[in-house]
Amino acid sequence: MYFGKGSWKSFEQGAEKEWLVANGLGGYAAGTVIGANASKYHGLLVAALNPPVERVVLLAKLDEQVEAGGITYNLASNQTNGEVTHFGYVHLQRVIIDPLPCFIYSFSDITMEKHVFMLRDQNTTVILYRFYNGALPATLRFTPLVNCRDFHHNTYYGQLNFNSQPLKRGVAVSAVSGVPPLKIISSAGRFNKRDDWYKGMYYARERERGLNPYEDHFMPGYFEVKIDSGEVKTITVVATIEEKFPADQIAANGEGYLLQEKVRLEQLQAQAGYSEPLARQLVWAADSFIVHRRSTGTKSVIAGYPWFNDWGRDTMIALPGLTLITRRFEDAREILSTFARYCKDGLLPNMFADGDREPLYNTVDASLWYFQAVYKFLEYTGDFDFIRSEIFPVLRDIIYCHVRGTHFNIKADEDGLLQAGSPSLQLTWMDAKVNDWVVTPRHGKPVEINALWYNALCVYEKLCRHYGEIFPYGDLPGKVENSFIKQFWYSDAGILYDVIGPDGKKDAKLRPNQIIAVSLPHSMLSKNKSMIILRRVWQELYATYGLRSLSLRDPEYKGVYTGDQLCRDGAYHQGTVWGWLIGPFISAYRRINAYSPASREQAERFIAPFIDHLRDHGVGFISEIFDGNEPVKPRGTFAQAWSVAEVLRAYVEDVLEIKPGRG
């Protein structure tokens, strides 16, 4: 993807597009295409001290200046105290994301390229400059803006005592006990120590989210590199907290490490086997979410960058797109095995806790989505032996515990339907809560939970048959099917009720949860009912990049997701558009229309807007959420795992019609 000056006619326009590179540990580097930090989550090195969590902002950015012929060209872009104070983006000529970011600056008769990438499985960022000098000698100066704080927080002058120690080709900076020193090394030039602070950096993203938008950064000094007239010079800067690979060794071979990372990414493309640009870009995007978790010693899935951790529900929904469509079958096995190992009383973890603490299990749908992930895994791999030996006993336990009853009031009722939660305990994906205010109460029998419950029973029954075992629950799937149709079908409105409360009260709000009941491989709905539901969802919930979480005709509909936490959480599931829901929507549409050529063309029209979206918000990624109101502005995390995964899965399976194959 190529961007030119038309993408940053103003500071504000350029700051809307964010880039990301990740290291496979939960650490990352991110910023805007114009080089400004517009969020407290931006930084050139955000290290995961306890992968994939305990993320710490260490190197916020590098601000560059070039002096030639007595003129100083400031390449830095910053907002300070709410105003643009550094306009370096005017010298920015092009930005290339392929998928690693490259920033090309042009001024006088000088061109400078700036490449940013991370080393895999290291908390190390490499910034590689290629300097094409003009007719006059020049001096490149770059100043590190350093921090040492949890990436959710802000730092201010006087809060931390930074200690900077000059190194042979750079500097080591420390501030907080338990956080390794940040080493910044340059392959050329010299470091000039001069302690100072950059005060009042302004983050427009945080202002938009109703949070404190100001921060100060420590500056330990600056690097200075002399460049002869007409010289083409490569300067490699390494920012790291690692000891196993000396920073000066990396700096001495920056080009080699850049090539190594490019080769790794191309190998992922070759493994996936797609030639279409959209599929290729999403395969690259998928790689960023698959991370190593130290506490389990296995792979996990980061739910979204920059601020989410790894969650069970998100992992199971995203697993087919991230690991099966991309043919990363070993990663899929590892993730399925990990969650099997941590299954407790029939529940999969909602979230792994930091360190050695027990995971949190407060979710009803992670365990049910697990069955769907296993089903898709078998479609793509046919590895029934692995499922039999490691996963099938866990599936048996999940069904048993749900029938008998387990934590959080999760239990199959006498009618076979699954109930869960309480007025103060929300267990579905629509779980926004502000203090004691439950924004979308869905305790009782939620529609998608019972659709997933039926699907899980059917998957388990088929596996029992395949392995020559007796399905111990008789006609429970049939009982669930009959109860579901009888209780959830709202014929007058042509929809499914969203929730049936403990008192039998039925919630008739039009929400997207019912599309899951249409899209799952084992559905209780007739073709006619499915078609009616799909049409209502399309008319009132579809919004270009996903489905609204509530009908725009509902009096409680909130069409804009912005403001402080109260405002944002109040809109999160009350109208906000969710990108991941486009996947089940497209799959449901194709199946209902018998995979006709016309339905394939329409599915392609559903996918097409995402090609444009890849150039907006998170460049090369798909956002978490969008406003329900036009123009459906992207919000939330700029790179969301299940959004990327479900768009990729639906595109490959339902548009390209590349069906699961045994690998």
pLDDT tens figures, 147-202: 999 999 999 999 999 999 999 999 999 999 999 999 999 999 999 999 999 999 99
Domains of the chain: 2-247+254-265 (2.70.98)
Q: What is the pLDDT of residue 354?
A: 67
* Contacts of residue 10, Cβ cutoff 8 Å, sequence gap at least 6: none
Confidence (pTM): 0.96
Q: What is the pLDDT of residue 663?
A: 37
| Cis preceding-peptide flag for 99 (omega within 30 of 0) | yes
pLDDT digits (tens, 9 = 90+) for 441-481: 999 999 999 999 999 999 999 999 999 999 999 999 999 99
Count of other CB atoms within 10 angstroms of residue 533: 24
Q: What is the pLDDT of residue 436?
A: 84
For the stretch 496-501, contacts whose Cβ atoms lie closer than 8 Å and that sit 24 or more positions apart, written own/partner, are 496/447, 496/533, 497/447, 498/442, 498/446, 498/447, 499/441, 499/442, 499/443, 499/444, 499/445, 499/446, 499/447, 500/417, 500/444, 500/445, 501/443, 501/444, 501/445
Query: In whole angstroms, what separates CA 599 from the centre of its chain?
Result: 29
How far is residue 9's CA from residue 522's CA, in Å, rounded to a whole number?
51
Q: What is the pLDDT of residue 661?
A: 64
Instruction: Spell out, as residue ranges, where the chain has pLDDT lower than 70.
Output: 354-356, 661-663
Cα atoms in the 13 Å half-sphere on the side-chain side of 222: 14
How far is residue 57's CA from residue 116's CA, in Å, rounded to a whole number?
16
Q: What is the pLDDT of residue 662?
A: 44
Give the pair of three-digit tokens for residue 483.
Answer: 């109860």
Find the Cα–Cα–Cα–Cα dihedral 74, 79, 83, 89, rounded to 10°: 40
Of the candidates 47, 104, 32, the residue with the CA atom closest to the CA atom of residue 239? 47
Q: What is the pLDDT of residue 357?
A: 78
H or E stretch at 184: strand 182-186
